[in-house]
Amino acid sequence: MTHLWVRAEQRPNEERVGLAPEGAAALVKAGIRVTVERSSVRAIPLDGYVAAGCDIAEENHWPQAPADAIVFGLKELPEDGTPLSHRHIMFGHAYKGQPAGRVLLQRFKAGGGTLYDLEYLVNEDGRRVAAFGYWAGYAGAALSLKCWAAQQHGSIAGPVRKVPSKDALLAQLGDELSGLGRPRAIIIGALGRVGTGAADLCEAMGVAVTKWDMAETASGGPFPEVLQHEIFLNCILARPGCPVFVPASAKTDARKLTVIGDIACDPTSDFSPIKVYDRATDWDAPALRVHDDPPLDVTAIDNLPSLMPVESSEDYAAQLLPSLLTLTDLQAGVWGRAKVEFDRHVAGV
């Protein structure tokens, strides 16, 4: 019997889960055994999984899961260097030259395990079968506006915490923008999931948006128009050949730009299109000031959808469920393609 083991997330400020109780019930009905770990932080209560017929395990017990279990989580595993012997479904962030990604692949190689990277679960046309993109864009645009509002008061954005819903986020942001005008934003990748979420948030807050996508960036740059907007929202994943949208010189160039929301957030990749910063920000310090006068802040949090963990989890889980139902045949379809990608990259470490 195929056995899916849903682990608790161990990263701070991460309350999402990739399987909702309704999906768990569908998997059990299809003959797949589902074990769900207890979690002190998961946004969706355990009761629904119990009712769905799942087995329940103790929190963070996945290293002792049966050898044939497929361990399913979203974000990083503890960086303790231990070999990884299980098959894991997760966001690995390991295929674009990231230093931490190489270490992760070495752990899989040492333990004989396999990574089925959620970012590389794609259909026959190469399109991802499930993504948190819309909510990442929505939350990333909101945090960028928070950064801009803080600048208007002569400060830098402070800690951010989860909200119970989209409506609560809009109300919170409205309070912070009260009495202020509105900046102009430019979104690159505006036609994708991430860009659509970012544009929707901007529209809800009365922010005028310039929407760019592949046609507008086909020239390869430079793109001086980016510097003529107060906010730039990057919604394009870093890939080989990706043009540079914000060069290192932007810190001191003449510009109206004061906030960069790097929603794609891949600063350690060689392909990053934003060259004014080199590390992600976090929930306690969401803004990184890279230049003082005039200010230029970068916000780049790599688990943005956790700002609204319930809504983003339910949306993502519904997208992913059809693929999880095919876990009984890991050699075919999305899982087979993900295994080929893993084999190609692990061979190089």
Q: Are residues 168 and 290 in the same domain?
A: yes
160 in a domain, yes or no? yes
85, 115 Cβ separation under 8 angstroms? no
pLDDT beyond 90 at 237 = no
88, 121 Cβ separation under 8 angstroms? no
339 in a domain, yes or no? yes
Q: Are residues 150 and 190 in the same domain?
A: yes
126 in a domain, yes or no? no
127 in a domain, yes or no? no
> What is the predicted pLDDT for the residue at 96?
85
Instruction: Tell me which residue range forms the domain holding 49.
Output: 3-120+308-346
128 in a domain, yes or no? no
Strand 114-117: give its sheet, edge to edge. Answer: 55-57, 33-37, 3-6, 70-72, 87-90, 114-117
Q: Are residues 277 and 289 in the same domain?
A: yes
Distance from the first to the final alpha carbon of the chain: 32
Strand partners, 122: 128
Q: Are residues 150 and 109 in the same domain?
A: no
pLDDT, tens only, 281-317:
999 999 999 999 999 999 999 899 999 999 999 999 9
- The predicted model gives 108-133 an average pLDDT of 96
Strand partners, 208: 184
Number of domains in the chain: 2
Q: Show the CA angle centred on residue 88, arms to residues 26 and 93, nearest 5°.
A: 115
**CATH code for position 313:** 3.40.50.720
Residue 166's pLDDT band (boundaries 50, 70, 90)? very high
Q: Are residues 279 and 315 in the same domain?
A: no
Q: Are residues 290 and 196 in the same domain?
A: yes
Q: Above pLDDT 70, what percent of the chain?
A: 100
How far is the C-alpha of 150 from the C-alpha of 324, rounded, in Å? 42
Mean pLDDT estimate for the chain = 96
Helix axes 193-204, 133-152, angle to 10 degrees: 40
> What is the predicted pLDDT for the residue at 26?
98
Q: Are residues 207 and 253 in the same domain?
A: yes
The model's pTM is 0.85
Residue 99's pLDDT band (boundaries 50, 70, 90)? confident
pLDDT, tens only, 177-224:
999 999 999 999 999 999 999 999 999 999 999 999 999 999 999 999
125 in a domain, yes or no? no
pLDDT, tens only, 102-117:
999 999 999 999 999 9
240 upstream amide cis, omega within 30 of 0: no
174's enclosing H/E stretch is: helix 166-177
Q: Are residues 45 and 78 in the same domain?
A: yes
Q: Are residues 286 and 336 in the same domain?
A: no
Which residues have CB under 8 Å from 102's CB, separation 6+?
94, 349
341 in a domain, yes or no? yes
Within 10 Å of residue 167's Cβ, how many Cβ atoms? 10
194 in a domain, yes or no? yes
50, 344 Cβ separation under 8 angstroms? no
Q: Are residues 9 and 111 in the same domain?
A: yes
> What is the predicted pLDDT for the residue at 270?
85
pLDDT, tens only, 70-89:
999 999 999 999 999 999 99
Which residues have CB under 8 Å from 152's CB, separation 6+?
180
pLDDT, tens only, 262-286:
999 989 888 899 999 999 999 999 9
Three-class secondary structure of residue 185 per DSSP:
strand
Residues that are catalytic: 75, 93
Strand partners, 128: 122
pLDDT beyond 90 at 98 = no
Q: Are residues 269 and 198 in the same domain?
A: yes
284, 159 Cβ separation under 8 angstroms? yes
Q: Are residues 334 and 202 in the same domain?
A: no
Q: What is the DSSP letter of 169?
A: H
